[in-house]
Protein backbone atom coordinates (compact mmCIF):
# COMPACT_ATOMS: atom_id res chain seq x y z
CA UNK A 1 0.00 0.00 0.00
CA UNK A 2 2.82 2.38 0.88
CA UNK A 3 4.48 1.72 -2.49
CA UNK A 4 1.27 2.54 -4.36
CA UNK A 5 0.83 5.78 -2.39
CA UNK A 6 4.46 6.80 -3.02
CA UNK A 7 4.12 6.02 -6.75
CA UNK A 8 0.93 8.13 -6.88
CA UNK A 9 2.74 11.04 -5.19
CA UNK A 10 5.69 10.78 -7.60
CA UNK A 11 3.37 10.58 -10.63
CA UNK A 12 1.40 13.61 -9.44
CA UNK A 13 4.64 15.57 -9.13
CA UNK A 14 5.82 14.45 -12.59
CA UNK A 15 2.53 15.30 -14.28
CA UNK A 16 2.55 18.75 -12.65
CA UNK A 17 6.16 19.31 -13.75
CA UNK A 18 5.44 18.23 -17.32
CA UNK A 19 2.42 20.56 -17.44
CA UNK A 20 4.55 23.45 -16.18
CA UNK A 21 7.25 22.75 -18.78
CA UNK A 22 4.66 22.58 -21.57
CA UNK A 23 3.10 25.87 -20.42
CA UNK A 24 6.54 27.56 -20.31
CA UNK A 25 7.50 26.38 -23.81
CA UNK A 26 4.13 27.56 -25.13
CA UNK A 27 4.69 30.99 -23.56
CA UNK A 28 8.15 31.24 -25.11
CA UNK A 29 6.72 30.56 -28.58
CA UNK A 30 3.99 33.18 -28.10
CA UNK A 31 6.49 35.79 -26.88
CA UNK A 32 8.85 35.04 -29.76
CA UNK A 33 6.06 35.62 -32.32
CA UNK A 34 4.90 38.77 -30.53
CA UNK A 35 8.44 40.18 -30.51
CA UNK A 36 8.85 39.42 -34.22
CA UNK A 37 5.46 41.00 -34.98
CA UNK A 38 6.43 44.17 -33.11
CA UNK A 39 9.68 44.40 -35.09
CA UNK A 40 7.85 43.86 -38.39
CA UNK A 41 5.30 46.53 -37.47
CA UNK A 42 8.10 48.97 -36.61
CA UNK A 43 9.84 48.16 -39.90
CA UNK A 44 6.62 49.02 -41.75
CA UNK A 45 6.51 52.46 -40.11
CA UNK A 46 10.20 53.06 -40.87
CA UNK A 47 9.77 52.17 -44.55
CA UNK A 48 6.95 54.72 -44.91
CA UNK A 49 9.05 57.29 -43.04
CA UNK A 50 11.90 56.58 -45.48
CA UNK A 51 9.60 57.33 -48.45
CA UNK A 52 8.68 60.66 -46.87
CA UNK A 53 12.35 61.45 -46.17
CA UNK A 54 13.33 60.52 -49.74
CA UNK A 55 10.77 63.05 -50.98
CA UNK A 56 12.41 65.70 -48.83
CA UNK A 57 15.86 64.82 -50.17
CA UNK A 58 14.44 65.26 -53.70
CA UNK A 59 13.26 68.75 -52.64
CA UNK A 60 9.62 67.68 -52.66
CA UNK A 61 8.68 69.74 -49.63
CA UNK A 62 5.54 71.55 -50.73
CA UNK A 63 2.11 70.73 -49.36
CA UNK A 64 1.26 68.52 -52.36
CA UNK A 65 4.70 67.01 -53.03
CA UNK A 66 5.97 65.66 -49.70
CA UNK A 67 3.34 62.87 -49.82
CA UNK A 68 4.38 61.59 -53.29
CA UNK A 69 4.12 57.81 -53.18
CA UNK A 70 2.12 57.90 -49.94
CA UNK A 71 -1.46 57.69 -51.16
CA UNK A 72 -4.28 56.91 -48.78
CA UNK A 73 -5.34 53.29 -48.46
CA UNK A 74 -3.99 49.88 -47.48
CA UNK A 75 -0.56 48.82 -48.69
CA UNK A 76 2.25 46.30 -48.35
CA UNK A 77 5.89 47.29 -47.90
CA UNK A 78 9.28 45.61 -48.20
CA UNK A 79 12.62 46.72 -46.79
CA UNK A 80 14.21 46.54 -50.26
CA UNK A 81 11.54 48.57 -52.06
CA UNK A 82 11.14 52.35 -51.95
CA UNK A 83 7.53 52.19 -53.16
CA UNK A 84 4.32 51.06 -51.56
CA UNK A 85 3.03 47.76 -52.96
CA UNK A 86 -0.62 47.19 -53.74
CA UNK A 87 -2.36 45.37 -50.91
CA UNK A 88 -2.85 41.62 -51.11
CA UNK A 89 -3.68 39.38 -48.18
CA UNK A 90 -0.32 37.64 -48.43
CA UNK A 91 2.06 36.05 -45.93
CA UNK A 92 5.53 37.47 -45.52
CA UNK A 93 8.34 35.14 -46.57
CA UNK A 94 11.69 34.74 -44.84
CA UNK A 95 14.68 34.32 -47.13
CA UNK A 96 17.91 32.41 -46.43
CA UNK A 97 19.48 35.56 -44.95
CA UNK A 98 16.63 36.01 -42.46
CA UNK A 99 15.03 38.99 -44.22
CA UNK A 100 11.25 39.26 -44.51
CA UNK A 101 9.71 40.12 -47.88
CA UNK A 102 7.11 38.79 -50.37
CA UNK A 103 9.08 37.26 -53.26
CA UNK A 104 11.62 34.68 -52.07
CA UNK A 105 11.78 32.27 -49.16
CA UNK A 106 9.56 30.22 -46.94
CA UNK A 107 6.13 31.45 -45.87
CA UNK A 108 5.94 32.69 -42.31
CA UNK A 109 2.84 33.06 -40.14
CA UNK A 110 2.91 36.87 -40.44
CA UNK A 111 0.84 39.23 -42.60
CA UNK A 112 1.56 42.98 -42.55
CA UNK A 113 -0.81 45.76 -43.58
CA UNK A 114 0.13 49.42 -43.82
CA UNK A 115 -2.77 51.88 -43.68
CA UNK A 116 -2.18 55.51 -44.65
CA UNK A 117 -4.64 58.30 -43.95
CA UNK A 118 -4.12 61.96 -44.88
CA UNK A 119 -5.11 64.01 -41.84
CA UNK A 120 -4.17 67.50 -43.04
CA UNK A 121 -2.02 68.93 -45.81
CA UNK A 122 1.02 68.56 -43.54
CA UNK A 123 0.14 65.39 -41.61
CA UNK A 124 -0.49 61.72 -42.33
CA UNK A 125 -1.37 58.85 -40.04
CA UNK A 126 0.36 55.53 -40.63
CA UNK A 127 -0.83 52.29 -39.03
CA UNK A 128 1.34 49.22 -39.36
CA UNK A 129 -0.53 46.05 -38.38
CA UNK A 130 0.88 42.53 -38.24
CA UNK A 131 -1.46 39.54 -37.96
CA UNK A 132 -0.58 35.91 -37.23
CA UNK A 133 -2.03 32.76 -35.73
CA UNK A 134 -0.72 30.86 -32.72
CA UNK A 135 -2.31 27.50 -32.03
CA UNK A 136 -5.39 28.39 -34.05
CA UNK A 137 -5.92 31.72 -32.26
CA UNK A 138 -5.73 34.99 -34.18
CA UNK A 139 -3.14 37.41 -32.86
CA UNK A 140 -2.44 41.00 -33.88
CA UNK A 141 0.06 43.76 -33.16
CA UNK A 142 -0.21 47.32 -34.46
CA UNK A 143 1.69 50.56 -34.26
CA UNK A 144 0.57 54.04 -35.23
CA UNK A 145 2.70 57.01 -36.21
CA UNK A 146 1.94 60.53 -37.32
CA UNK A 147 4.27 61.87 -39.99
CA UNK A 148 4.53 65.60 -40.56
CA UNK A 149 5.92 67.84 -43.26
CA UNK A 150 7.99 69.95 -40.90
CA UNK A 151 10.35 70.87 -43.78
CA UNK A 152 7.62 72.68 -45.67
CA UNK A 153 8.95 75.44 -47.92
Q: Are 29 and 11 in contact (CB under 8 A)?
A: no
Of residues 13 and 95, more confidently modeled? 95
What pLDDT, on the 0 to 100 scale, is given for residue 81?
A: 87
Closest to 132 (Cα-Cα) out of 95, 91, 100, 74: 91
CA 116 to chain centre: 16
pLDDT in tens, 20-56: 777 777 777 788 999 999 999 999 999 999 999 999 9
CA distance 135 to 149: 43
Kindly report the pTM of this predicted structure.
0.82
Average pLDDT over residues 68-86: 93
CA distance 76 to 52: 16
- What CA–CA distances, in Å, run from 59 to 53, 63, 97? 10, 12, 35
pLDDT in tens, 90-122: 999 999 999 999 999 999 999 999 999 999 989
Amino acid sequence: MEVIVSIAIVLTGLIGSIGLIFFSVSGISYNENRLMASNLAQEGIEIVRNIRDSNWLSYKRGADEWRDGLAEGQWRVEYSNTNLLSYEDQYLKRDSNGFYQYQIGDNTVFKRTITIEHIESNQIRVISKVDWQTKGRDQSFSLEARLYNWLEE
